[in-house]
Amino acid sequence: MNTKILELTPAAIEATYDLRSDNEDYRNKDLRIYLAGKGCDGFEYGVSFDERESQDVIIAINDEISLVCDPRTLEFVRGSKIDWVDDERGRGFLVENPNHRKFRGKFYKKSEWKTKILTELHNQ
């Protein structure tokens, strides 16, 4: 069982350093994990470079890299591992969520699925 809040693989860490060295806009920003949408098969996740917000949870990966996530999103991505891929799937960050199956099913409006899933998580 993964007890870490969020994890970056060595490939994702290396890609973060490479992207920062190649793009000046990323150098002083953290990595943000977020929910990009939801369909019948569950959530779609995104990872991008972003500024910290006052409500963000900050997860230090090392002295130079931190992940940020708003508290509500964290409930859905807790325990996820972020990898870097460059293969037939594409090139970019890939979020592997061990809890992904919990969030599959009927499509709800954003406010409804957030409320429903948070209620289910807290009742477990």
Residue type, position 78, single letter: R
DSSP string, 87-122: ETTEEEEEEE-TTGGGG-SS---HHHHHHHHHHHHH
Q: Which pLDDT band holds residue 107 (cuts at 50, 70, 90)?
A: very low
From the centroid of its chain, how far is CA 71?
Answer: 12
Contact, 71 vs 57, CB < 8 A? yes
Q: In this model, does residue 85 exceed pLDDT 50? A: yes
**Taking the domains of the chain in order of start, what are their residue ranges?**
6-122
- Cβ atoms of residues 57 and 70 within 8 Å: yes
Query: Which H helix or E strand runs over 14?
Result: helix 10-22
The class of domain 6-122 in CATH terms is: mainly beta
Q: Note the pLDDT of residue 73.
A: 87
- Whether the pTM exceeds 0.85: the reply is no
Give 92's contacts (C-beta < 8 A, 6+ positions apart): 47, 84, 85
With a pLDDT cut of 70, the percent of the chain lying above it is 75
